């Protein structure tokens, strides 16, 4: 069994200050995702937009984030990790504020794309920086990273609900202010990290996808993210809750996600292996989406299912991120960029597709479709496991 992994998780390792600085910035960065959720219906109502138009706030953000992943290595290998992180945060500060000052849905969609560019520079670099700078090995570093994601995603909707109840603009300005804090923390607390000896090329992440294991994990995440963002971008429209209510639901979802990503995933990985655990989590998430599709008319069912889904999503996020860091013989930053490029394209398709299906057919169809995509993701892992065996060997 994975004694080293459990030992690493068990001791609360004293990490360098720089790691905690990046951890703090990650929390605030991922708050940006959840902050927007409680205000989606309010934006649709006040800006006279359809749900599918509002869903483009996620689509433009994820599309640009994914495409820009191809240049994150190019940028960080030339200006260094610290200034790549700071540049990404600066883009987020500016474009979040511009989105908050907008008066039309298409302006917000455009500014969210700029926000996505900043996000891409930050998140790919942050993951590789935490893995490279922390004590305790890759597994411990990824647990830290996923904990930051979980905390950010869980606290974000609560803050978004509170600010959104004042005005839909509030969460956008809130992100901008919080990211200014993150910018200052990293500017003064993070030392310069040596630049890589070899400068990255924009083609490196594409070339990395030639490794079957990395490609399969990227494809899995592409399919799974369609279901993930169906839940994120479509469920607020069928829960019949105000900004406060949506904030509390996604707080519960995020807390479940944070808990399982930190405490449950490593234990499952140690006991059953990465591949089996991922297959089970994806199947459970698909069944949850299917239940939401069958009982869409029951707000209570959808609310409970959203919160429960956080348990499976948190576990799977840690498992797949750990696998990505170990699956291919390439730099961690390159593997992260390649994987993120593919998965964020799925995150761009999912929100728009879900809301368009609801407008064209019925409210039940998006959840059922999302469940099918997640089930396909499970099949990709199950049938491609021969290319991922070495990940389980490393984990054990």
Q: 118 in helix, strand or coil?
A: helix
Does 33 have pLDDT greater than 80? no
Does 348 have pLDDT greater than 90? yes
In this predicted structure, what is the pLDDT of residue 334?
81
Tokens of residue 239, six digits = 């829960």
pTM, 2 dp: 0.86
374 in Cβ contact with 66 (< 8 Å):
no
What is the average pLDDT value for the chain, to the nearest integer?
A: 87
**pLDDT class for 358, splitting at 50, 70, 90?**
very high
Report the distance separating Cα 143 and Cα 259, nearest Å.
Answer: 11
Q: What is the pLDDT of residues 154-186, one digit of tens each?
A: 788 888 888 888 899 998 998 899 889 889 888
Judged on CB neighbours under 10 Å (0-12, 13-18, 19+), 359 is middle
In this predicted structure, what is the pLDDT of residue 3?
46
**pLDDT class for 235, splitting at 50, 70, 90?**
very high
Report the distance separating Cα 359 and Cα 351, nearest Å.
Answer: 13
Does 275 have pLDDT greater than 60? yes
Does 291 have pLDDT greater than 90? yes
139 in Cβ contact with 394 (< 8 Å):
no
Report the distance separating Cα 317 and Cα 217, nearest Å.
Answer: 11
In this predicted structure, what is the pLDDT of residue 393?
56
386 vs 220: which has the higher pLDDT: 220
Does 333 have pLDDT greater than 80? no
DSSP letters for 318-347: HHHHHHHHHHSSS-HHHHHHHHHHHHHHHH
Q: What is the mean pLDDT of residues 261-267?
A: 90
Report the distance separating Cα 147 and Cα 395, nearest Å.
Answer: 19
In this predicted structure, what is the pLDDT of residue 155?
84
Q: What is the mean pLDDT of residues 256-281?
A: 91
Q: Name every residue whose Cβ is closer than 8 Å to that of residue 295 and which is 6 or more positions away in sequence.
A: 301, 302
Identity of the highest mean pLDDT range in 34-38, 137-141, 153-157, 229-233: 229-233
For the beta carbon of residue 272, count every other beta carbon within 10 angstroms.
Answer: 15
**pLDDT class for 10, splitting at 50, 70, 90?**
very low
Q: What is the mean pLDDT of residues 269-294?
A: 95
In this predicted structure, what is the pLDDT of residue 142?
77
Does 360 have pLDDT greater than 60? yes
**pLDDT class for 354, splitting at 50, 70, 90?**
very high
Distance from chain centroid for Cα 115: 14
Q: What is the pLDDT of residues 85-123, one digit of tens each?
A: 999 999 999 999 999 999 999 999 999 999 999 988 888
Does 1 have pLDDT greater than 60? no
């Amino acid at each position: 069994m994975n004694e080293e992994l459990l030992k690493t998780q068990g001791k609360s390792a004293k990490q360098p200050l720089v790691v905690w600085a990046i951890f703090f910035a990650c929390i605030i960065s991922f708050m940006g995702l959840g902050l927007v959720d409680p205000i989606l219906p309010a934006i649709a109502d006040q800006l006279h937009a359809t749900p599918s138009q509002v869903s483009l706030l996620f689509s433009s953000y994820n599309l640009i984030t994914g495409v820009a992943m191809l240049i994150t290595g190019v940028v960080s290998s030339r200006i260094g990790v610290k200034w790549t992180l700071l540049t990404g945060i600066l883009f987020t500060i500016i474009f979040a504020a511009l989105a908050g000052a907008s008066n039309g849905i298409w302006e917000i969609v455009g500014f969210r794309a700029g926000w996505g560019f900043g996000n891409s520079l930050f998140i790919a670099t942050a993951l590789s920086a935490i893995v490279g700078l922390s004590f305790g090995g890759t597994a411990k570093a990824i647990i830290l990273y996923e904990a930051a994601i979980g905390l950010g995603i869980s606290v974000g909707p609560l803050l978004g609900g509170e600010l959104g109840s004042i005005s839909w603009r509030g969460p956008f300005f809130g992100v901008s202010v919080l990211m200014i804090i993150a910018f200052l923390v990293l500017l003064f607390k993070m030392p310069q990290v040596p630049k890589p000896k070899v400068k990255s090329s924009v083609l490196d992440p594409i070339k990395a996808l030639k490794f079957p294991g990395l490609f399969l994990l990227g494809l899995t995440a592409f399919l799974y993210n369609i279901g993930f963002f169906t839940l994120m971008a479509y469920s607020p429209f069928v829960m019949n809750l105000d900004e406060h209510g949506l904030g509390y639901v996604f707080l519960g979802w995020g807390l479940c996600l944070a808990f399982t990503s930190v405490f449950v995933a490593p234990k499952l990985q140690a006991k059953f292996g990465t591949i089996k655990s991922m297959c089970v989590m994806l199947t459970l998430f698909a069944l949850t989406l299917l239940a939401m599709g069958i009982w869409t008319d029951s707000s209570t069912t959808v609310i409970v299912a959203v919160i429960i889904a956080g348990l499976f999503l948190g576990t799977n996020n840690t498992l797949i991120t750990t696998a990505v860091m170990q699956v291919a013989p390439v730099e961690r930053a390159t593997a992260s960029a390649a994987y993120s490029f593919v998965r964020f394209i799925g995150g761009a398709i999912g929100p728009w597709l879900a809301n368009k299906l609801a407008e064209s057919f019925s409210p039940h169809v998006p959840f059922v479709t999302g469940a099918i995509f997640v089930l396909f993701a499970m099949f990709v892992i199950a049938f491609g496991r021969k290319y991922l065996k070495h990940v389980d060997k490393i984990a054990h």
